[in-house]
């Protein structure tokens, strides 16, 4: 392996137009052909899947599902190899494979052989839509259905398919009893997110439920430790050649290894998870390879070894900035928007959002007595992607006004976006509050969500009372449509005729935030790796509101004065749906306490301090 061969191999993981990275088989064939090791790491689900085929006792069939690029086929290959399946057979083109498993004799059990059936791509094996089932394939699918309910099966299946393919395949089978039963079993496991069901010899692993942030750690470690980089170091010929001191590929590789950059990038992926945006393995490898090799001015926007001296000689190393490549800034807009990971990261709008202090540092910091130290530390100290000659010249033209007019301004503003993005990854933790780092994103409360909600709950701690109070204040303003400041109790109100009205003045209940002996309380808990706002009306009656990053931002902004319905219509409707859920629970709780001879109404008013004042009206029946 030569260094240039490694760089060419790494390019295949990137966002290239040929899309060779769409299939693990393509990368495996290229690896065998070139002798270059793939970027490999142990999948988080590998041990759990392998235990299902342990020779001490087969646990049953296994279904691997998830989105495209989650590693379903790759994981099938790892299990195949672990069970001593033939490498030559796996290297073939067949989507359906067989392998015999010899189970040794154990106490109370004779040695026996179990046949393993592997569908590494179910969609490639089933007949096309509208075509009849061949008898041998139909028989095999019947046996798959039977295996789900066999306590000691002689045949087990390892099947890779996304949710839609799996459901459609089972739906197309004849409505026989075992097929209908297996169809219901799989559907229940998919909908409920269950890996097992009592009475079924089946495990279903949804790889999309894994943590994108954990996958990122594994993928980054595998990339940084690849032996190809040692080869690059051993072949350094000159500063302007591949992996020399002036090489942008080397600089990007070294930046990815820096703990602060890794921490910030991981934080963005963790926030993607909390917003329901799962990033599969394939997309992470696209992100990392593009971060290292991206350059706006080379073929396919990904550098090869031969591009390095040309880029350096031309003086446009800044177009290879890792800070821009992370967001796909090197790619044409149409290609960037078609790649999920860049579309997800673009939602943070890093670089498009800013503050006066950040822009003052970047534009005037070089000569400003109070900002110069920060400018020198965060911008000037970076000879690759900081205040280079191109940035300094463009900034000067922008400040003084250039004869180029709009073109000059557009050029500098584009550079300014890149510098803001760089600051997001450069500002040290101790300066986050001073710089107001998260104001560089649309999620101003993103850092607080990470540090004071996710981190605290993961460590078994409680969320601080002031943060919970702010969320309650935001929810009170949405529930009532009034500018309330109350944060020690949750006010559930309705209008005279419609609980979903924008302004609701009829108070239904006050739920104390602090725990009460009756079971009333409002708290934030962690359920299945996601925070929820739980409202307890009694010891038995509880309702949960999942706190995604977007919902957390929404409630926080409303609490600070944003208009509830105009800031986010979707979030407004989500909160109002939660209010309706609480209203139904209240109705059930209050049924026994209602008196038949009178009705009592409580109306809400807001005093000058934003406190809720209650006035009762009693109607005799």
Q: What is the pLDDT of residue 196?
A: 92
Asked if 616 and 510 count as a contact pair (C-beta separation under 8 A), the reply is: no
User: What is the band of 595 on the pLDDT scale with cuts at 50, 70, 90?
Assistant: low
Q: What are phi and psi of 609, to 5 degrees?
A: -95, 0
Query: Locate tokens 């290292």: which residue?
Result: 292
Per DSSP, the three-state class of 77 is helix
Question: How far is residue 418 CA from its own chain's centroid?
Answer: 23
What Cα–Cα distance (Å) separates residue 509 from each residue in 193, 585, 612, 621?
A: 34, 11, 12, 22
The more confidently predicted of residues 596 and 546 is 546
CA 57 distance to own-chain centroid? 36
CA distance linking residue 298 with residue 20, whole number of Å: 19
What integer pLDDT is reported at residue 29 of this predicted model?
Answer: 85
What is the rounded average pLDDT of the residues 254-260? 97
Q: How many residues does the chain have?
A: 621
User: Of the ranges 20-24, 35-39, 274-278, 484-488, which one carries the lowest mean pLDDT score?
Assistant: 20-24
- Distances from the Cα of 183 to the Cαs of 146, 193, 434, 456, in angstroms? 11, 15, 56, 41
What the block records as the tokens of 398 is 């922008």
Instruction: Name residue, tokens 């002036």.
Output: 246
- Rounded distance, CA 198 to CA 329, Å? 50
Nearest partner of 551 among 211, 271, 210, judged by Cα? 271
Note whether 251 and 321 are within 8 A (CB).
no
Task: For the chain, report the end-to-end CA distance as a whole number of angstroms.
Answer: 91
- Number of Cβ within 10 Å of residue 268's Cβ equals 25
At 366, which helix (H) or strand (E)?
Answer: none
* DSSP one-letter code for 70: S
Which ranges of 195-278 would DSSP assign to H, the alpha helix? 212-224, 227-234, 248-256, 259-274
What average pLDDT does the chain have? Answer: 90
Distance, in Å, from the CA atom of 164 to the CA atom of 162, rounded to the nearest integer, reads 6
Q: Are 203 and 63 in contact (CB under 8 A)?
A: yes
Cα-based distances in Å from 408 to 379, 392, 399, 413, 471: 21, 13, 11, 9, 45
Q: Which residues contact 188 (CB under 8 A, 6 or more apart)?
A: 194, 197
Q: What is the pLDDT at residue 245?
A: 94
Q: What is the token pair recorded at 512? A: 């104390």
Which DSSP letter does residue 128 get? P
Nearest to 264, CA basis, from 40, 383, 416, 432 = 432
- What lies within 8 Å, CB to CB, of 554 at 6+ separation is 474, 567, 568, 571, 572, 575
CA distances from 144 to 51, 137, 157, 562 (A): 19, 11, 7, 55
**Residue for token pair 């706006």:** 296
Write 243-247 long-range contacts (CB < 8 A, 24+): 243/3, 244/308, 246/312, 246/317, 247/308, 247/312
DSSP 454: I
* Whether this model's pTM surpasses 0.85: yes
Give the dihedral sign, CA 376/379/383/387. Answer: negative
CA angle 208, 214, 215 (to 5 degrees): 60
Rounded-to-integer distance, Cα 150 and Cα 180, Å: 16
**What are the structure tokens assigned to 47, written together?**
């041990």
Res 503: pLDDT? 84
Say how many C-beta atoms besides its own lie within 10 A of residue 564's C-beta. 23
Is pLDDT larger for residue 261 or for residue 391?
Answer: 261
Six token digits for residue 39: 């970027």
Q: What is the pLDDT of residue 391?
A: 87
How many Cβ atoms sit within 10 Å of the Cβ of residue 241? Answer: 17
Q: Provide the 10 A C-beta neighbour count for residue 319.
A: 22
Q: Is the dihedral of CA 299, 300, 304, 307 positive or negative?
A: positive
* C-alpha–C-alpha distance, residues 221 and 225, integer Å: 6
pLDDT at residue 609 above 90?
no
Please state, in angstroms and as integers, the Cα–Cα distance from residue 464 to each residue in 452, 457, 512, following that order: 7, 11, 16
- pLDDT at 619 (0 to 100): 59
And the tokens for 89? 């057979």
Q: How far apart are CA 575 and CA 535, in angstroms?
A: 13
Least confident of 110-119, 264-273, 521-530, 586-595: 586-595
pLDDT higher than threshold 70 for residue 617: no
CB atoms within 10 A of CB 110: 8
CA atoms of 419 and 425, how far apart (whole Å): 10
Q: What pLDDT is stored for residue 599 in this prediction?
A: 62
Residue 592 has pLDDT above 60, yes or no: no
Report the phi/psi class of residue 300: left, alpha or beta, with left for phi > 0 and alpha for psi in -120 to 50. Answer: left
In the chain, % of residues over pLDDT 90: 70
The pLDDT score that the predictor gives to residue 618 is 61
* Whole-number Å distance between alpha carbons of 395 and 485: 45
Q: Residue 583's CB: how many other CB atoms inside 10 A? A: 18
For residue 621, the model assigns a pLDDT of 56
Q: What is the pLDDT of residue 206?
A: 95
Residue ranges with strand state E in 143-184:
155-160
Query: Residue 488 pLDDT > 70, yes or no?
Result: yes
Please, what is the Cα angle at 243 between 238 and 244, to 5 degrees? 30
pLDDT, tens digit (0-9, with 9 covering 90-100), for 101-120: 888 776 666 778 899 999 99
Among residues 454, 414, 433, the alpha carbon closest in space to that of 269 is found at 454
Q: Is pLDDT of 438 > 90?
A: yes
160-172 mean pLDDT: 91
| 385-415 residue pLDDT tens | 998 888 888 888 888 876 666 777 888 888 9
- In the prediction, which pLDDT does 2 show? 93
CB 251 within 8 A of CB 293: no
- Model confidence pLDDT, tens digit, residues 359-372: 999 999 988 889 99
Across-strand partners of 112? 103
Q: What is the pLDDT of residue 500?
A: 60
């Amino acid at each position: 392996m030569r260094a240039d061969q490694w760089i060419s191999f790494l390019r295949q993981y990137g966002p290239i137009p040929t899309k060779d990275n769409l299939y693990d088989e393509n990368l495996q064939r290229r690896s065998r052909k070139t002798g270059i090791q793939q970027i490999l790491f142990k999948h988080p689900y590998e041990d759990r899947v392998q235990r299902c085929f342990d020779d001490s006792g087969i646990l049953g069939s296994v279904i691997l599902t998830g989105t495209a690029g989650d590693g379903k086929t790759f994981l099938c290959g790892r299990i195949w190899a672990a069970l001593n399946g033939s490498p030559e057979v796996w290297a073939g083109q067949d989507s359906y494979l067989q392998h015999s498993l010899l189970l040794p004799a154990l106490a109370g059990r004779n040695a026996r052989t179990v046949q393993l059936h592997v569908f590494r791509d179910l969609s490639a094996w089933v007949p096309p839509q509208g075509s009849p089932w061949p008898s041998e394939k139909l028989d095999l699918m019947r046996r798959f259905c039977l295996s789900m309910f066999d306590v000691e099966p002689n045949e087990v299946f390892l099947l890779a398919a996304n949710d839609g393919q799996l459901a459609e395949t089972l739906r197309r089978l004849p409505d026989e009893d075992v097929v209908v039963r297996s169809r219901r079993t799989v559907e229940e496991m998919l909908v409920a997110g269950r890996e097992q069901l009592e009475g079924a010899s089946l495990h279903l692993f949804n790889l999309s439920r894994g943590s994108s942030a954990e996958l990122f750690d594994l993928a980054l470690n595998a990339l940084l430790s690849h032996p190809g980089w040692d080869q690059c170091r051993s072949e350094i010929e000159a500063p302007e050649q591949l992996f020399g001191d002036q090489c942008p590929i080397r600089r990007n590789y070294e930046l990815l290894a820096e703990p602060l950059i890794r921490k910030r990038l991981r934080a963005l992926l963790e926030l993607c998870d909390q917003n329901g945006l799962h990033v599969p393995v394939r997309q992470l490898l696209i992100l990392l390879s593009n971060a290292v090799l991206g350059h706006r001015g080379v073929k396919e926007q990904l550098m090869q070894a031969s591009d390095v001296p040309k880029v350096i000689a031309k003086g446009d190393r800044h177009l290879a900035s890792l800070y821009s490549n992370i967001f796909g800034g090197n790619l044409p807009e149409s290609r960037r928007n078609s790649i999920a990971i860049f579309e997800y990261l673009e939602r943070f709008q890093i670089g498009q959002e800013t503050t006066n202090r950040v822009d003052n540092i970047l534009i005037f910091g070089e000569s400003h007595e109070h900002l110069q130290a920060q400018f020198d530390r965060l911008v000037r100290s970076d000879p690759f992607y900081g205040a280079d000659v191109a940035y300094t010249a463009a900034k000067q033209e922008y400040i003084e006004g250039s004869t180029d007019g709009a073109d000059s301004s557009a050029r500098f503003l584009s550079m300014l976006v890149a510098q803001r993005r760089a600051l997001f990854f450069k500002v040290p933790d101790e300066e986050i509050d001073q710089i107001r780092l998260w104001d560089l994103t649309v999620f101003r409360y993103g850092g607080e969500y990470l540090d004071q909600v996710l981190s605290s709950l993961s460590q078994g701690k409680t969320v601080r009372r002031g943060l919970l109070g702010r969320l309650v204040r935001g929810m009170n303003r949405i529930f009532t449509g009034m500018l309330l400041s109350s944060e020690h109790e949750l006010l559930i109100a309705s209008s005279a005729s419609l609980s979903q009205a924008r302004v609701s003045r009829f108070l239904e209940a006050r739920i104390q935030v602090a725990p009460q002996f009756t079971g009333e309380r409002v708290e934030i808990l962690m359920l299945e790796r996601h925070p929820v706002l739980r409202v307890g009306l009694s010891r038995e009656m509880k309702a949960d509101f999942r706190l995604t990053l977007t919902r957390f931002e929404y409630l926080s902004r409303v609490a600070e004065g944003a208009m509830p319905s105009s800031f986010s219509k979707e979030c407004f409707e989500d909160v109002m749906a939660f209010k309706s859920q609480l209203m139904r629970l209240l109705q059930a709780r209050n049924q026994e306490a209602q008196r038949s001879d009178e009705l009592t109404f409580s109306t809400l008013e807001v005093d000058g301090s934003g406190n809720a004042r209650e006035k009762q009206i009693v109607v005799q029946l």
